[in-house]
Amino acid sequence: MSLFAAWTARSPALLAFGGDSAIELFSAIVVLWRFRAIAHEDMERRIARVAGTLLLALATYVAINSALSLLGHSEPRPTLAGIAILVAALAIMPWLAKEKRNLSAATGSAALRADAAQSALCAYLSLIALVGLVVNAIWHMAWADSVAALLIIPLVFRESWQAMRGKPCGCC
């Protein structure tokens, strides 16, 4: 839903958040599969590398999209749907990350610990994107959306690097 809102509004910040969320959903499905079936750690590492590569591609695309927007090739439009999605994510993701960390500690699952880190990062991403979208919606400063997207990119690169190395962040 956030990717559709990003596309209709031409919002680089919402695109970064939505793309990261889609990749996080992929990761969550893998973690669920890991708990439901006998999976090999090697397979888990390979899937983490795929997710990391997808995140790297997302960050690169968002950087290009943001630069083109800042150069005037497209202008992000205000989106109330995008703002609502980000407010919901900001309300839910910290709680979800905390619950995943607790379950990770109880089960000793590194995969779930990494997934908790992604949920926590999603909360930060939603806050940054929300600020960019709200500034654009209230003060009609379209550049704020692209700047928010550029602020998100280092977080996505960091998440990508950790996933490709097979290491969750140390925040959990």
Q: How many residues does the chain have?
A: 172
In this prediction, residue 46 has a pLDDT band, given cuts at 50, 70 and 90, of confident
Half-sphere exposure of 3 (CA within 13 A, CB side): 8
In this prediction, residue 99 has a pLDDT band, given cuts at 50, 70 and 90, of very high
Per residue in 108-149, pLDDT tens? 877 778 778 888 889 999 999 999 999 999 999 999 999 999
Taking each helix axis from N to C terminus, what angle separates 80-107 and 12-36, rounded to the nearest 10 degrees? Answer: 30
Q: Where are the domains of the chain?
A: 2-165
Instruction: Judge contact between 76 and 69, C-beta under 8 A.
Output: yes
User: What tokens were used for 72?
Assistant: 């005037």
Predicted TM-score (pTM) of the model is 0.87
Q: DSSP per residue over 42-109, as a string? A: HHHHHHHHHHHHHHHHHHHHHHHHHHHHHTTS--PPP-HHHHHHHHHHHHHHHHHHHHHHHHHHHHT-
Radius of gyration of the chain measured on its C-alpha atoms: 16
In this model, does residue 89 exceed pLDDT 60? yes
Q: Which is more confidently placed, 34 or 54?
A: 54
- CB contact burial 113-131 (16+ within 10 A = b; e otherwise): bbbbbbbbbbbebbbbbbb
Which pLDDT belongs to residue 38? 61
User: What tokens were used for 127?
Assistant: 């806050």
CA–CA separation, 162 vs 48, rounded Å?
Answer: 9
Mean pLDDT, the chain, as a whole number? 86
Per residue in 21-31, pLDDT tens? 888 888 778 77
Instruction: Judge contact between 34 and 41, C-beta under 8 A.
Output: no
CA–CA separation, 12 vs 6, rounded Å?
Answer: 7
Phi and psi at 75, nearest 5°, equal: -125, 120
Half-sphere exposure of 13 (CA within 13 A, CB side): 32
In this model, does residue 87 exceed pLDDT 60? yes
